Structure 1
């Protein structure tokens, strides 16, 4: 399938650089066209606008128009042959930008060559046609309806997907806090106490020999004793409290609804389901706009 790759540059110097890079990357110079619009400083053969297309026989035809004639209409015809008569908006937009710059046209035989050529043109400085057309005062017409009008209309097909994840939440817990509590206690104890008493007894009798033997100086002592309470404390472990966790798992089924866009396609008044560039049934056009 034939492809036509187009890059538009601000001046002929940048366009020539792009051509050189294409040739150095293996593209045949005979498959590359370089032309300049009214806004370019190119002269001589570079100041010719090619009106190229693939005709019905599959061979390439070429018409060169001198820039002293109506160059704008020549550029318009060039893009019209590429886009087709039904794509008037893109034809006008590219003609607006192409008429003020230099156009590099690459004829590629395969999809890979077309993509490579587009990348080379972008790297060489091909302008963004949409932005540059806006700078030059071009504005796209506002469609009168979202569907059913000329030009590309798009319905975005959106589909929701259910994604189920997990997060950890607090559901409860146990906190242990220890504190010291004092309470009064009492115990009964029996204490023994000694007390010395002195008894005096009045007598009147004659002294005996034993009394006379004891009739001398002497000393008698007797000590008193008493029991007093002795208090001490002992500590004993009477209970142990520990905290632990038991982990269990359960299976839960999440049920919800998801939405998606469904598009019904209805053909209105035609059975032709193909869209091709004008003038050929096998030609594809690739536009390099960065």
Structure 2
């Protein structure tokens, strides 16, 4: 699935830099559009110097009416709007790139404009027409936002239409960080003890008193004679061997879940009353006709 992400910039340079970064990560260039306030014409009062002005430039972008007014005002003030149509897998990275290049916080900007006296209506946007006070009847109703005036009864005006509008809920998806697991290995030391049995050999000099006759073998005792004995003792020899005794790993399982998204959508209904008091209401669900009195508009 794809979704459209819109950002506003104070300068055209920032917007083009963000676009270049988006294209560099694999987003098709045709999916990234830039609309600059310096290119779509300037506005003076309620009339624009180009047909449609900033408001007309936004007619191809699907967005709520209040957002359309807000972005049109931003373009009127010299800003630059960037809109990217991206796959769900690129959405999170796209948000990051747009913020890295200085996208405007539209909530804060709107609050600032309203303090300056902005009413929430973009300059150049169509407004509902008011019929002259002397007009007592019209050939039909006009859609809200139409710039045409109602003609007196009896004037040939052709066929007029009021669009029946219905909002539809578009649900997209994006990956968000819901937590992180980190496994780290590090070395620690601890004291260990082992018992070992060691063998020692010691040398002792013994003296004893002897009183016996000298034998022929003892005659050699008057010659020099040396007896040696060496003491021996064992020492503990320590060596260490590293062995793998276990493993700790990270495994990521992918599952699917169904989540119900609830929101409100709007639609318009059209009510027609003729001079006999009959009422006809037309909406997105169909047409009903009755004799109930006409409700005030």
Q: Scaled by the length of structure 2, what TM-score is found?
A: 0.38
The structure with the larger Rg is: 1
In the superposition, the TM-score normalised over structure 1's length comes to: 0.39
Which is bigger in relative contact order (C-alpha 8 A, separation at least 6)?
1
